[in-house]
């Protein structure tokens, strides 16, 4: 990236800010658009929930907004309803997967030191085993 001309860097930044990452192959945009395979367990006009490809618990689901949002570091004031919706949906799918009674954890990792590897905002829903606290 450091070798790219400034104008190209600006283009990438613009695309990033404008939510055009699908153009550059955002895997969760592709899942949400049914362009990449995933075990989708719930979807509506605002979000999609699918099974994590590398589950860390017997139930490990990811709830993602359909629209590309890279992380909680974006300015999300206009998206408070959408963020609340993700939590409501998380509760619903947790119940459908029978982990509401025993318990489950909802996690959003933001940036490298928290372990974010996919830069499309996603809410992990983990359950079906005892989850230690604090997480590693
Ligand atoms: P994070 O590390 O918080 O960014 O979480 C990314 C999660 O996405 C990891 O748990 C991965 O296993 C999961 N993941 C990556 N690619 C896919 C995919 N194509 N389908 C389902 N889950 C994925
Ligand atoms: Zn995306």
Between 1 and 109, whose confidence is greater? 109
Which token pair is 77? 């004031």
Indicate the DSSP class of residue 20.
-
pLDDT at 69 (0 to 100)? 97
pLDDT in tens, 25-74: 999 999 999 999 999 999 999 999 999 999 999 999 999 999 999 999 99
- Per the rule left: phi > 0, alpha: psi between -120 and 50, beta: everything else, 128 is left
pLDDT at 136: 86
Catalytic: 122? Answer: yes
End-to-end Cα, the chain, rounded Å: 31
Alpha-carbon distance of 82 to 120, in angstroms, equals: 14
What is the Cα–Cα distance from 113 to 127, expressed in whole angstroms? 23
**Ligand 1 within 6 A of 115 CB?**
yes
Find the catalytic residue in 68, 97, 122, 124. 122
Average pLDDT on 122-136 reads 97
Q: How does pLDDT run across 91-127, given as a tens digit for each residue?
A: 999 999 999 999 999 999 999 999 999 999 999 999 9
CB distance 27 to ligand 1 below 6 Å:
yes
What is the model's pTM? 0.88
pLDDT value of position 7: 72
Centre of ligand 1 from the C-alpha of residue 78, in Å: 26
The alpha carbon of 33 and the centre of ligand 2 are apart by a number of angstroms equal to 10
Candidates 64, 82, 75, 78; CA nearest to 118 is 64
Domain 26-127 has CATH 3.40.50.300: no
Determine the distance separating the centroid of ligand 2 and the alpha carbon of 118, expressed in angstroms. 9
Q: Where are the beta strands (DSSP E) in the chain?
A: 40-43, 47-51, 59-65, 104-107, 123-127
């Amino acid at each position: 990236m450091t070798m790219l001309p400034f104008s190209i860097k600006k283009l990438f930044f613009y695309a990033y800010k404008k939510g055009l990452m699908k153009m550059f192959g955002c895997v969760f945009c592709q899942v949400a658009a049914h362009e990449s395979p995933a075990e989708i367990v719930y979807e509506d006009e605002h979000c999609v929930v699918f099974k994590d490809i590398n589950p860390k618990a017997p139930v490990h689901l990811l709830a993602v907004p359909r629209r590309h949002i890279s992380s909680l570091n974006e300015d999300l004031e206009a998206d408070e309803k959408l963020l609340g919706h993700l939590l409501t949906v998380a509760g619903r799918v947790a119940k459908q997967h029978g982990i509401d009674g025993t318990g489950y954890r909802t996690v959003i990792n933001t940036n490298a030191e928290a372990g974010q590897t996919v830069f499309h905002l996603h809410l992990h829903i983990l359950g079906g085993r005892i989850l230690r606290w604090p997480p590693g």
